[in-house]
Amino acid sequence: MIITFFNVWLYNCIMNRPFVFINVAMTADGKIDTFQRKGAAISSLRDKERVDELRAGADAVMVGGRTLLDEDPKLTVKSEVLRAERVRRGRPPNPVKVGVVSQANIKENSQFLTTGPAAIVIFTTRRTSKRQLSLLKARNVDVYVDDAQQVNLERALATLKDLGIERLMVEGGGTLNFELMRLGLVDEVTAYVAPVIFGGESAPTLAAGSGLQRSEAISLHLIDAEKWEDGGVLLKYQFER
C-alpha cells in the first residue's frame, strides 16, 4: 500500500501512529556525516530553506540519541515568516521536539532544551538516572521511560499520536532511521544528495543498525526527482507496503 499526502488524515485515523517521513541530506556516496561525526554541513542554502519549510509543516520533529547528544540540534523553525504562519493557523511557532535516547544525559543548557519556544518529549529507558529524569521533568519535558534496554518505537509513535501528533518529521540519525524503516513505521523519505564525497568506512549513512539480507530489503517507490542548479539532486520515495 502506498500512502499519498492527500491520504494522511484518513491514514492517521486507521493507523495507530502519525504519518512519518524521514528527511536527510547526504553525500553522493550516501554519508550523512564525516567519520568525525560532528554534524558536518551537507545541505546547500536552498536545501536548508526546504528543510525549514518541512519543519514548519510538521507537528513534531524526532531525532535519535547520538544526534541528540553529539550534535545538540535546535529543531526549531528558523524563518520568522514560517513561524508567524504557524501561529496564524493556531499552532505553536515551533513543532514539538522529540528525542529517542536510551540514556538521556542531556545537558541542562543544551540547545535542544533551551531554544524555542517548543514543547519537548523524550522517550528513554531505565538506563537514565532518576536524577536526570527529575532534571528533565523540572524543565517541563514530557518524559516516557521504557523498562527495556531500548525504546519501543511502535509504542513511542502511538504515544505521539495520542498527544495529537499527526505529521512526524524524522531527522536521523542512521540507527533511528533504520529501526523505524525495519519496523515498517515510515511512509516517506526525502534525500538531498549533495555533489560531494566524504568516504570513510565509519562515516554514518542514511540507514545504519544491524542491516538486512538482500531477501529482506525494504522496497521503495520513487515519486519525485529534481536536479538542482547547486549540483545536488532531491529524491523522494514512498515505502511500499
Q: For residue 24, what is its C-alpha cell?
A: 536527510
Give the model's pLDDT for residue 3.
39
| CATH number, domain containing residue 153 | 3.40.430.10
Domain extent, residue 110, equals 5-239
CA angle 200/184/98 to nearest 5° reads: 70
pLDDT, tens only, 177-209: 999 999 999 999 999 999 999 999 999 999 998
Does this model's pTM top 0.85? My answer is yes
Q: How confident is the model at residue 241 (pLDDT cuts 50, 70, 90)?
A: low
Query: Residue 32 above 90 pLDDT?
Result: yes
Minimum mean pLDDT range among 61-65, 86-90, 211-215: 211-215
Q: How many residues does the chain have?
A: 241
CB 83 within 8 A of CB 52: no
pLDDT, tens only, 151-178: 999 999 999 999 999 999 999 899 999 9
Count of domains for the chain:
1
Find cell 521511560 and name the residue. 145
